[in-house]
Structure 1
Amino acid sequence: MTKVHPNAAAAAVAELRRAEFPCAGGARATEAEVLTVWRKSLLFNGNGFTVYDSKGNLVFRVDNYSAGSRGEVVLMDAAGRPLLTIRRKKLSLGDHWLIYNGEEAVNPRFAVKKHAGLLHSKALARVTPCGSGAKSCLAYDIEGSYSHRCCAVYDDRRQQLAEIKRKESVHGITLGHDVFRLIVQPGLDASFAMAMVILLEQMFGSRGSLLKG
């Protein structure tokens, strides 16, 4: 069986950085980062995600507390420190969300809107920058099929910056929809790419919403 659980010893001593919120070109990595995303919370009977790097170390987690705030999800690092908060935009037409640094409730960094076009369109969502620094950041398009775990994030120059793919075992057997790969190219912060996964789950997931309300 393919390993999806973390390297517990390494996770216990890891001192993970608090990621800066991304604009294209902001990441320091020189090669693609391959993450394993598990559609399962570390909390018993909780909804969420658990994310590991290529060495099996825990890097991100999302836990949905039933008594938590309605209409928001917090992406945390392995130690439980908040990196990004996703909140549903109130009083908006269609499916519309805002992304904030940490647990801030003001000055959102990005707005994400579900594509409302034709049924067979490949476009899933559009990500646009907010605030005074918006002009220095790129917009992003998410295309493909999240239900098939086959989609990608593109910048406004059509460069692919992140990809969601089905994960195979060492024997070449394709695993289920709850375990998949997130491949993040240099130039995009991995926490931002994971925020896109959370939003796609909210928009197109079949197992219930992480965001309530």
Structure 2
Amino acid sequence: MQNHQQQMQGFGGGIIGPQYCAPYNVDLAIVRKVLTLADSFSVTDINGQSPFTLKGSLLTLQDHRVLLDAAGTPVVTLRRKLMTAHDRWHVFRGDSSDMKDLIFSLKRPSLFQLKTELDVFLAHNTEEKVCDFKVKGSWFERSCVIYAGESLNIVAQMQKKDTAQSIMFGKDNYMVTVYPNVDYAFIVALIVILDKINKRQKK
């Protein structure tokens, strides 16, 4: 655990921002409406507060999303790189799409996967020889684990939670636990992209 804390402190206490880091576990519920034309995500914490909402454009349904904070201010912009086989996504600060504002990118390490695996590279890791974070999971089981780099240090976990209400109203409910000193805005952005990649693979 000490190595994990040292590693997270090496990222300056926050990948997107230190205000999204807490010295304790952060539990979030992410709900996605699945019977709508455009994806609709809501994020709530254990106090019922909504730290983030997701905004998308119908004109760029597959490749562009903006994560907003509770005040409606853009936190990050998620953009899928077109014409790429590995489902590469870029995440920029605020509502920017300029490479100078790049925070991190991610891609599938291989084209054919039985289980979901994504490699995450922070902006300064331009050589991309070793990933900074790795996402592993089974989308069929609606669960995933996010690790720090190639290590076994877990920084967040997600699992699907089925309820009578979610089934009746066509919603996907994900319960996410973000570990101490880990940027939970970063984790939410990863899960949104993970969801988009897996939706594309079903088509």
Q: 1:27 to 1:76 in 2, by over 3 A?
A: closer
Partner SS for 2:58: coil
Aligned residue identity for 1:22: I
Structure 2 portions without partners, runs of 5+: 1-12
Distance in 1, matches of 2:123 and 2:185, equals 18
- Aligned residue pairs total 182
Q: 2 CA distance for matches of 1:207 and 1:64?
A: 20
- Alpha-carbon separation, structure 2, partners of 1:200 and 1:134: 23
User: Counterpart in 1 of 2:91?
Assistant: 99
With over 3 angstroms needed to count, the CA separation of the structure-2 counterparts of 1:150 and 1:50, relative to structure 1, is: same
Q: Match of 1:87, as an amino acid?
A: R
Q: Tell me, yes or no, if the aligned pair for 1:75 and 1:82 is still in contact at 8 Å.
A: yes
Q: 1:197 aligns with which of 165, 177, 191?
A: 191
Percent identical residues:
23
SS of residue matched to 2:33: coil
Deviation at 1:48, TM superposition (A): 2.4
Q: Equivalent of 2:181, from 181, 187, 190? A: 187
Q: Distance in 1 between matches of 2:193 and 2:32?
A: 13
1:31 equivalent in alignment to 2:24: yes
Match of 2:72 among 37, 57, 80: 80
- In 2, distance between residues paired with 1:46 and 1:117? 26
Match of 1:159 in 2: 153
Separation in 2, partners of 1:188, 1:71 = 26
In structure 1, how many angstroms separate the alpha carbons of the residues matched to 2:62 and 2:199?
18
Summarize deviations over 1:142-192 as a string: whole Å, max 9, x none: 0011332211110023210011112366xxx89656012011111321110
Amino acid at match of 1:163: Q
2:48 paired with 1:56: yes
Kept in 1, the 8 Å contact 2:116–2:139? The answer is no
Task: State the Cα RMSD in Å.
Answer: 3.5
Q: Counterpart amino acid of 2:56? A: N
| Matching residue of 2:39 | 47
- CA drift at 1:132: 7.6
Checking the alignment, whether the CA contact within 8 Å between 1:21 and 1:101 is kept in structure 2 is no
Structure 1 runs not aligned, ≥5 long: 1-19
Deviations 1:102-156 (A, max 9, x none): 1112221211002326543x45110011248999xx7000001133221111002
- 1:148 maps to amino acid: E
SS of the aligned residue for 1:92 comes to coil
Please report the TM-score for the alignment, with normalisation by the length of structure 2: 0.74
